[in-house]
Chains A and B, each alone.
Chain A
Amino acid sequence: MNDYENMVRAYRKAGGDPKVLRDPKCASLVVNKNRILGKRKIEGIRVFQAEELPKGVKITLITQKGYRIEKPVYLCFGILPKRGLQEIYVDVKIADGSSITLIAHCTFPNAVKIKHVMSAEFRIGKGAFLGYHETHYHGERGGAEVIPQGKIYIDKGGRLDTSFTLIKGKVGKLRIDYEARAKEKAVAELVVKVYGKGDDDIRIKEKAILDGPYAKSLIKARVAVKDRAKTMAIGITEGNAPFSRGHVDCIEIVQGKAQAKALPIVQVIDDRARVTHEAAIGSIDKKQLETVMARGLSKEEAIDVVVKGMLR
């Protein structure tokens, strides 16, 4: 099997459907380590460049003004060997009035000592929309270190809808750091869902800065940890402009010897802004567990089902 086929198999493991990578109507990009294995551009995307670097790739994507791209763009980043480093630089500009959704799968199925760093900058133009959904699979050994960093700028009336999901397999070490800045009437929604097991070490920082009047944000974290896994979720929202509205919502479930911390930080410098938060850390709901066990699942299996329900 060649690299491309192996990558497609890994893509499937991360929850991707390989069909979309072959669909001529969908833009896509497949990267193994620092090698570009496949790339397709479609109408509505003005620039779609991928450049191989010594340790990774640099991707530039710019949409056409006013163009609404219906079909998502599928991105597949991975490292197939057990060891390796991958640095992904992402530079995305969503032109005024245009819209696009990127669906990324990052897959390190054999990770023993893998480091993946993503450094992204997203600029969302006036009245533009970006959907950015990232699903990760780090294999079963906990040998990955993953550092996704994103800075997002949303211009007047623009919208961001982003999610990060890592539910299957082990996490390893995860350091998420996303920051969204919203201008007038811009809307930002940031969601992270992670299930940590074994010795996983999870730190999530999501920040929304509401700089424009009537800007809105929602920061949501759903984290479950078991065994000896550790998690810390920091949700920050700054209401800097009149009538801006922000909410931080964090729920963590702990079992076994796992540890969870939640730290919502809300700050308001305009008395007409309003930022709220809620954080809850608790054990798994017994009633839910028993309901599932009464269908014949073991306690361990039932825990996974209940967590899956929460992380959906």
Chain B
Amino acid sequence: MLEIKGLKLTLNGHPILRGINLEVKKGEIHTILGLNGAGKSSLAYCLMGSEGYKPQEGKIRFLGNDITNLSISQRARRGLTLAWQESARFEGLLAREYLSLGMKNREDSKRVTHALELVALNPKEFLNRAVNKTLSGGERKRIELASVIAMRPKLAILDEPDSGIDMLSLDDILNVIKSMRKEGSTIFLITHREEMASISDRVSLMCDGLIIKTGRPKEEMDYFKLHCKPCPTHKFPGKLKE
């Protein structure tokens, strides 16, 4: 569904992505696991087509077509979207309106309500709440996630969907991701917590702007715990602490 070939991104002279090769298959939950600064969010921005994140080299193909030079809107209309890592990216609409943005034809109130329920926000309380500073960080994050759910994208990139949401609800988040898949979305999950990877079909480890390995969740989570987390440099190839 998504093919990334030789993607290179340099920002202000720093190489951030150093040649990413990756394939996300239709229907899977594919997790990118990497420590802080590995370049995960930069990859997400690149895939979404964010301004300032145009790759210097490489190609992105989505559903068989080259989307490397398409705008964010064009990519989104083809069914690709991103739940951004920072939650407070939008202000001012009511949650109901915000969640309806991604629906091509008119508001579907059932879908909006359903999306809020999935992220454990009571629709009675939140449908008509304004998306702004009066919401807690966790609530905003949930609304962001709900807006992706309501859109029913073909491919959802979720950048650290658990950050800012309390630990207790990790299971909730994983359930949300599973239901999104059930509703037909392929999931590209970005995280730095290996527990999150447990529900994936495949996991790719990312370090220092490169995908260093892809495999089954159990193996990759173990590798991450054993080699990546203790690595003093966070650079690839790294060194294990003595």
Which chain A residues have a beta carbon within 8 Å of chain B's beta carbons? 286-288, 290-299, 302, 305-306, 308-312
Do the beta carbons of B90 and A288 come within 8 Å of each other?
A: yes
Q: Does B212 contact A (CB under 8 A)?
A: no
Do the beta carbons of B76 and A287 come within 8 Å of each other?
A: no
Do the beta carbons of B93 and A297 come within 8 Å of each other?
A: no
Do the beta carbons of A290 and B147 come within 8 Å of each other?
A: no
Say whether, besides A299-B71, A305-B101, A312-B130, A294 and B82 are in contact (CB < 8 Å). Answer: yes
Q: Does B158 contact A (CB under 8 A)?
A: no
Do the beta carbons of A290 and B93 come within 8 Å of each other?
A: no
Do the beta carbons of A299 and B73 come within 8 Å of each other?
A: yes
Chain A: minimal CB distance from B85 (Å)? 12
The residue that A290 contacts in the complex, of B51, B91, B130, B131, with Cβ under 8 A, is B51
Q: A308 to chain B: which residues have CB within 8 Å?
A: 92-93
Do the beta carbons of B92 and A310 come within 8 Å of each other?
A: yes
Say whether, besides A294-B48, A294-B76, A309 and B92 are in contact (CB < 8 Å). Answer: yes
Interchain residue pairs A-B with the least CB separation, the first 7? A309-B92, A295-B102, A296-B76, A293-B72, A295-B101, A291-B89, A291-B90
Say whether, besides A290-B51, A295-B81, A296-B151, A302 and B91 are in contact (CB < 8 Å). Answer: no
Chain A: minimal CB distance from B49 (Å)? 9
In the complex formed, the residue of B with least CB distance to A300 is B73
In the complex formed, the residue of A with least CB distance to B144 is A291
In the complex formed, the residue of B with least CB distance to A288 is B90
Q: A291 to chain B: which residues have CB within 8 Å?
A: 84, 89-90
Q: Does B239 contact A (CB under 8 A)?
A: no
Q: Does B128 contact A (CB under 8 A)?
A: no
Do the beta carbons of A286 and B51 come within 8 Å of each other?
A: yes
Which chain B residues have a beta carbon within 8 Å of chain A's beta carbons? 48, 50-51, 71-73, 76-77, 81-82, 84, 89-93, 101-102, 104, 130-131, 147, 151
The residue that A294 contacts in the complex, of B51, B72, B91, B93, with Cβ under 8 A, is B72
State the CA gap A286–B50 with chains docked (Å): 10
The residue that A296 contacts in the complex, of B84, B89, B93, B104, with Cβ under 8 A, is B104
State the CA gap A177–B213 with chains docked (Å): 66
Do the beta carbons of A292 and B92 come within 8 Å of each other?
A: no
Q: A302 to chain B: which residues have CB within 8 Å?
A: 73
Do the beta carbons of B91 and A298 come within 8 Å of each other?
A: no
Chain A: minimal CB distance from B120 (Å)? 22
Q: B51 to chain A: which residues have CB within 8 Å?
A: 286, 290
Do the beta carbons of A309 and B93 come within 8 Å of each other?
A: yes
Between-chain CB contacts (< 8 Å), 20 pairs = A287-B89, A287-B90, A290-B50, A290-B72, A290-B89, A291-B89, A292-B101, A294-B48, A294-B81, A295-B81, A295-B102, A295-B151, A296-B81, A297-B73, A298-B73, A305-B101, A308-B92, A309-B90, A312-B93, A312-B130
State the CA gap A297–B104 with chains docked (Å): 9
List 15 extra interface pairs beyond A287-B90, A296-B101, CB under 8 A.
A287-B89, A288-B90, A291-B89, A291-B90, A292-B90, A293-B76, A294-B72, A295-B81, A295-B151, A296-B81, A297-B76, A297-B101, A305-B93, A309-B92, A310-B91
Q: A298 to chain B: which residues have CB within 8 Å?
A: 73
Do the beta carbons of A288 and B76 come within 8 Å of each other?
A: no
State the CA gap A291–B50 with chains docked (Å): 9
The residue that A293 contacts in the complex, of B73, B130, B131, with Cβ under 8 A, is B73
State the CA gap A165–B48 with chains docked (Å): 35
State the CA gap A297–B97 with chains docked (Å): 13
State the CA gap A295–B51 with chains docked (Å): 16
Chain A: minimal CB distance from B72 (Å)? 4
Chain A: minimal CB distance from B63 (Å)? 15
Q: B77 to chain A: which residues have CB within 8 Å?
A: 296
Chain B: minimal CB distance from A303 (Å)? 12
State the CA gap A287–B151 with chains docked (Å): 19
Chain A: minimal CB distance from B4 (Å)? 18
Q: B102 to chain A: which residues have CB within 8 Å?
A: 295-296
Q: A295 to chain B: which residues have CB within 8 Å?
A: 76, 81, 101-102, 147, 151
In the complex formed, the residue of B with least CB distance to A296 is B76
In the complex formed, the residue of B with least CB distance to A310 is B92
Q: B84 to chain A: which residues have CB within 8 Å?
A: 291, 294
